[in-house]
Structure 1
Amino acid sequence: MSYLDNRKLPKDTRSCVGGFRYEGHKKQLRPRYAQSEIGEPFIPKFSAIASEGQKVAPPNEDWADNTTVLTGMTTDSYTMDEKIVYSPPIGRVMGRRCSRLVWLLASSILCILSVVSAPIMCSLPIIAPQVGFSMPPIQCDVDCEGLLFLMAIKTIFLVIAIGVLYWRKAMADMPRLYFARAALTFLVMFILFAFWLFYIARIMFERYDNYKYIVSYSTSLLDALLWTHYLSVVLLELRRLRSQFIVTIVRDPDGEMHTFNIGACSIQEASTEILRFYTTRFSSFNIQLDNARQTAVAKQSGMQGGTAGFKMYNIEQFGGGQETVSEVNTRALMEAAARRRIGGYAEVMQEEIDFEKRVKKRKYRLMAATEDAFSHVQNTAESGTQKVGINNQMDSLTAAQNVFTWIVRPLTKYLKTTRLQSRHPSGEVTRHIERCLTLKLSHRTFLQRFFSERIPQKEKMEESKWSVICDESVSSGVQHGTYIVLKSHNADIDCGVQLVCTVSSIPFFNLTEQAKSGSEKFSLKISNESAV
C-alpha cells in the first residue's frame, strides 16, 4: 500500500507502546543507502519473489512443511586484512641440495687441478720413460734449477691465495647463478685446457728435449693462474668496497628504519649484504609484544582483530550471476573503513601512553630491587674478606639463587609486560647472576641483558630462511630505484618480518673552489636603543 494514496492507513496494533500510537507519515521516505557517483546503489531493491529463482511445484501432501524463501547471498567481502600476494617458497628440496654439493665438488677438483698442474708438467718428462713412453734425456743446469725453485714458491703462493679466498664457509645460498664467480670458473677451466692441450701436442707428442723450456712453460701456467686469482679478488671483493648506492631498509610491521651503503653488485648479493646488516644493526623483533599491543589497540578502538570490514550482498542476483562490485563502491567502502579506524586515534594514543608508563614503572621497580639485592651480597663478600670467622659464607651458585629469589617478582612482572618471559628462563637468569657476582659486575650490567634491544638467542641458529621478491631478475645488477622485499620464513626469531629495501644512487659531487678575499672591512653601528 503506497503512502501517496489519499486513503486512510490501516491501524497497526504493533506500533502501540505505552498507550501511544505512531501513525505513518505521508511524505516519502529517504532511501536507506547512499547512491554512488554513477547512480548504482550498494544494495538493490529487495524483492522476495524475484530472489526465489525458478519455482518448482511442491508435492500436494506436505508442500508447506519445509518452505524456505531465499532472501540473499554473500557475494563480496572487503576488509582491511592483508591479502597474500606471494605464495610461500618451497622448502629445501633434494635437487637444490644436490646441485650445491656438485658445485662444491667441481670447484674443489678445479682448485686441486690448478695447484698440481704445473708440478705434473715438470714431472712427466722424468716419469714417462719409466712407463714405456720414450722421451729424450733431460738436462737441468743452474738456470733450470732456479726456475724450479721459482715454480715451487709460486705454487705455495697459489695454495695460500686459494685457501684464503675460497676455502671458507659460504655466507648465503643464492637463488640464481652467481655470474661473476661462474665466469671466473670457466676462465680457469679454459686456461687449464689450453695449457694442457699445448703441452700434450707440442711437448709430449713431439718429444721436446729442452727441459728448461718445459719448466718455464709450467711457470707461465702458474703466472696465469695467479693473475686470474688477482682478477677474482677485484671482481668478488674490491668491487663491492666502493660505495655507489644507498639502501634504505624499513622493517615491517614495526617500521624501524636504517640506511647503509653498498657497492656495485647484483640484487642477490645486495640481499645478502642487507641481511647481514639487519642481523647486526637492527633491534630484535618481539612478535608476542607486537601482537599484544595490536590486540589492545583494537579493543580500545572497538575493532576486534584490528580490522574494520564491510560485506556486500547481492540479493536480487542482478547481472546474470556476475558477482561484481563497481570501483566507485569499493572506494567508498575503503574510505568508510579508514574513517572508522581514524576516529579512534584518542584511544590508540592513550593505550600507547599507558603501556609506556606501565613498562617504565616495572622497569624502575626491577632496578631498585636488583640494586638492593646486589648491594647486600656484595657487602657480605666485603665483610667476609675482612673477618675470617664469618659464619654465613656462600658459594657463587647459592648467592645467585638468593639474589634471584629477591628479584624474581619484579623481574617476572617486567618480562610479562614486555612479553619476554619465554626468552629468559629461570636457569639462564640464575647462571647470568652467578657470572655477574663472580666477575664483580654491577647491577646495571646484569639488567642490560633484559633492557637491551637485542634479545639473546636460546641456541645457535644454523640457518635463517628468507626469500627475495623483486620485479627484476635477482642476478641482474643493482641500480637506482631498485625495490627489494625480503620476507622471513623463520619459525621463532624474525617471525612475520619483511624488509622493504629501496636503492638510490649516490650522486656525483661537483666541487668548485671559491677564493676568500682579504679585503673585508666591518663597521660598528650603535643606535640609541643599544646605548648603555
Structure 2
Amino acid sequence: MDTESTHSGYSSRSGRSNRHSERGRERHKAGSSKDSSRSEKSVIINPPETSSQDSPVHNGEPLPGEPMPAASDPGEEGQDDNWGETTTAVTGTSELSISQEEVVGLGKGLQDRTRGFRRYLPLAVGVCGGLLVLATPLVFLLLPVIMWPERLQPCGAACEGLFLSLSFKLLMLLTAIWALFLRPARASLPRVCACRAFLTTLTLLLTMSYWLFYGVRILDAQDEDYHGVVQFAVSLVDSQLFVHYLAVVLLELRHLQPCYSVCVIRSTDGETRHYNIGQLSIQNAALTILEFYYKDFPLHNPALLSASKHRAAKHLAGLKVYNVDAPGNTAGAQPANGNQSQAATAGAKRKDTAHNELYYEEADYERRVRKRKARLVVAVEEAFTHVRRMKKEDERASPSDIMDVREAALAIFPSMARALQKYLRTTRRQHCHSMESIQKHLAFCLINNMSPKAFLEAYLAPGPTLQYGPERWMADQWMLVSEASVTSSLKEGSEFTLRCLDFSLAVTVKGIPYIRVTEEYVDPKSHKFVLLLQSETSV
C-alpha cells in the first residue's frame, strides 16, 4: 500500500509537472505566434530623402552601378510607396481577403481613368454653354421665318435697327467671352471654381427661362408680330451681357483689393516671403502663391543643406548607444564607472567644441568663396577686355575676317570656364548652370554690349526659379493639403500646405487690420514767432 501510495503520489506530481510543461509550451507558442504576427503586421517606414552627397544620386539620376532610389509620396513624407507589399494581413476566420496592394492598385487605376474626364469636363461644359448662348438669339429670329413666313408682319425701319443693334451686341459678347474665358489655363486645380460654376448655372437658367417663354408665347401661338420677336431676342442678349459683367466682377475685380496677408515658408531652408492677396478660395490662393513662388523665391538647392547634415552625422558618430532591452545584456547595459565618466567628459568636450567647429567651418567656406569670386571677376574682366580689343581690330579688318558675336563668345569662354566652374562648385550651384546656357548668356551680353558685372550677376547670387531651365521646375507637381475645403474662401487663421517632391510650402493667413486715420487741425498762426534783438551789441 505504501509503495502504491508513493507511486500514485509520484505519478500525480509527474502529471501535474507534465501539464505545467504543456501549458508553458502552449504559452511559449502563443507568445511566439503573437510576436510573429506583430512582425508580420509591422510597416517599414523609410527615413526622409537625404541630400545629394549622402545618397548615390546626382541631379535626380543614380550613378552607374547604383540601384534606383524609391520615389517618395508627396502626400506622406518619409513613407515608402511600397508599404502595401511589406504589410501582411493575418486573418483566421475569413477565406476571402484582398490585399492592400490590390486596393491601392484599384484606386490608382480608377483615378487614372477619371483624370482626363475631370480635366476636360469643365472645358466641354463651357464650350457647350458658350455655343448655346450665342446660337439662341439667332435661333429665336430664324424659327418664325422658317415655320410660318406667310403670316409674319413686315419688319419696318425700327425692326431693322434692332437687327443692327443685335448684331453688334453679339459681336461684343463674343469678344468678351473670348477675352475672359477662352484663355489658356494657368494650372490644373483639384476642384471646380465655385464662381465659374455659379455663373454657368445662372447662364443656363437664364437661357432655359427664355426658351420656355419663347416656346409658350411665340411658338405655340405662332405670333405674327416679328418686331416683338426681334425685341425678345435683343432682351436676351442684353441679359447675357449683364451676366458677363457679373462674371468680370466676380472673377477679375473681386480679388484685386487686398484683404489678407499670407506668410509662405519653405520647409527645407526656411526661406520666407509675405504677400497681400484678396478674397480668394483656398485653391485659387494656392495658385497665386505658386506664381509668386516661381517669381520671388530663389531656386531650391538641396546641396546647401548637406553641410549641416554632415556635421550632425559626424557628431552622432562619436556617441555610444546601448540597447538596454537586448537579451543577455543586463549586466553590460551600462559601461563601468570609469568608462562612463570618460564618455561624459568626451561628450562635454564635443559639445563645447561644436560651435567652434561651426564657426571655423563657415569662416573657411566664406574665405574660399571670396577667393573663387575674385579669380572669377578677374578672368571675366580680362575676357571682356579682349573682346573689346577684337572689336577695334575688326573695324579695321576686311569684311571676310570679321568674327561673329557667337564665335567670339566661344573663343573667350575657355579663358573663364575654369574659374567659373570652380566658383560654382564651391557655392554648390554647378547643377543649375550648363555649359550651353552659360555660352548663350555670354553671347547675349556681348550682343547687347553689357559689362562684365552684368554677366556675373547671374552667377554670383541665386536667382528666382523661372530664370533657370524648364527642367528645374516644369516637373514640379504640387499637392494641396488643407483641413478646410479647398473651394471655401480664405479666413483669418487659415493654414494649408503645398507639397512638392523635395520640399513643402507652409502658408498661414492673417487678416489685414482695419486702419483708422484721424485728422488734427493745426492753426497756421501757431507757427509764427517773434525774434527780440538787443539794442546793445558787443563790438
Of 428, 440, 444 in structure 1, the residue corresponding to residue 449 of structure 2 is: 440
State the distance in 1 between where 2:399 and 2:155 align.
85
Instruction: Tell me the equivalent position of 1:478.
Output: 490
Given that 2:259 and 2:511 are in contact with CA atoms closer than 8 Å, whether structure 1 keeps it comes out as yes
Q: CA deviation at 1:429?
A: 2.2
Cα separation, partners in 2 of 1:232 and 1:520, compared to 1, 3 Å: same
Aligned to 2:379: 369
Which of 411, 421, 443 aligns to 1:412? It is 421
Aligned ranges for residues 45-194 of structure 1 at < 5 Å? Answer: 86-87=75-76, 93-129=112-148, 136-194=151-209
Equivalent position of 2:244 in the other structure? 229
2:516 to 505, 510, 521: 510
Which position in structure 2 is the counterpart of 1:465? 477
CA distance in 1, matches of 2:125, 2:165: 29
Cα-to-partner distance string for 1:25-68 (whole Å, 9 max, x where unaligned): xxxxxxxxxxxxxxxxxxxxxxxxxxxxx689xxxxxxxxxxxx
CA contact (8 A) 1:79 1:309 kept: no
Asked whether the 8 Å contact 1:297–1:351 carries over to 2, the reply is no
State how far apart, in whole Å, the 2-side matches of 1:217 and 1:340 are: 88
Aligned to 1:241: 256
Higher helix share: 2
What is the letter of the counterpart of residue 127 of structure 1?
I
Conservation of the 8 A alpha-carbon contact between 1:80 and 1:308? no
Q: TM-score, normalised by structure 2?
A: 0.70
TM-aligned CA deviation for residue 432 of structure 1: 2.8
CA deviation after TM superposition for structure 1 residue 94, in Å: 2.8
Greater RCO (Cα-Cα under 8 Å, separation 6 or more)? 1
* Residue 309 (structure 1) shift: 10
| Correspondence list, 1:353-432, <5 A | 353-385=363-395, 387-388=396-397, 394-432=403-441
Question: Which residue of the partner structure matches residue 29 of structure 1?
Answer: none
Match of 1:251 in 2: 266
Question: After superposition, where does 1:299-338 map in structure 2 within 5 Å?
Answer: 302-303=315-316, 313-315=324-326
- Range 256-265 or range 80-89, more displaced: 80-89
* CA deviation string 1:467-491 (max 9, x = no partner): 11122111111011111211113xx
SS of residue paired to 1:237: helix
CA RMSD of aligned residues (A): 3.7
Question: CA–CA distance in 2 between the matches of 1:408 and 1:153?
Answer: 62
Relative to structure 1, the CA distance from residue 204 to residue 166 in structure 2 (aligned partners, 3 Å threshold; closer, same or farther) is same
| Conserved 8 A contact 1:403-1:433 | no
Whether contact under 8 Å (1:78, 1:311) holds in the other structure is: no
Q: Distance in 2 between matches of 1:260 and 1:470?
A: 19
Q: Name 1:298's counterpart in structure 2.
A: 312
Give 1:316 shift: 7.3
- Summarize the Cα distance change of 1:310–1:519 in structure 2 as closer, same or farther, 3 Å threshold: farther
Q: 1:211 aligns with which of 217, 226, 229?
A: 226
Mean Cα displacement is larger for which, 263-272 or 392-401? 392-401
Q: Secondary structure at the match of 1:261?
A: strand
- Please tell me whether the aligned partners of residues 202 and 208 of structure 1 are also in contact (alpha carbons under 8 angstroms): yes
Distance 1:294 1:97, change over 3 A: farther
Identity of aligned residues (%): 31
How many Å separate the matches in 2 of 1:366 and 1:295?
Answer: 29
Q: Give yes or no for contact 1:296–1:351 (8 Å, CA) kept in 2.
A: no
Aligned partners of 2:322, 2:205: CA distance in 1, in Å?
66
Amino acid at match of 2:308: Q
Instruction: Tell me the alpha carbon deviations over residues 407-466 of structure 1, each in whole angstroms, 9 at most, x when there is no partner.
Output: 121111012112232332223323332333333222222222222422643347656410
Work out whether 1:269 is the aligned partner of 2:278.
no
Unaligned runs of 5+ in 2: 1-23, 27-38, 50-71, 82-107, 329-346, 532-539
- Corresponding letter in the other structure for 2:443: E
Q: What is the TM-score normalised by the length of structure 1?
A: 0.71
Alignment of 1:281 onto 2:289: no
The residue type paired with residue 212 of structure 2 is L
Question: What CA distance in whole angstroms lies between the structure 2 residues aligned with 1:115 and 1:418?
Answer: 59
State how many pairs are aligned: 420
Asked if the contact 1:267/1:476 (under 8 Å) is kept, the reply is yes
8 Å Cα contact 1:79/1:310 also seen in 2 = no
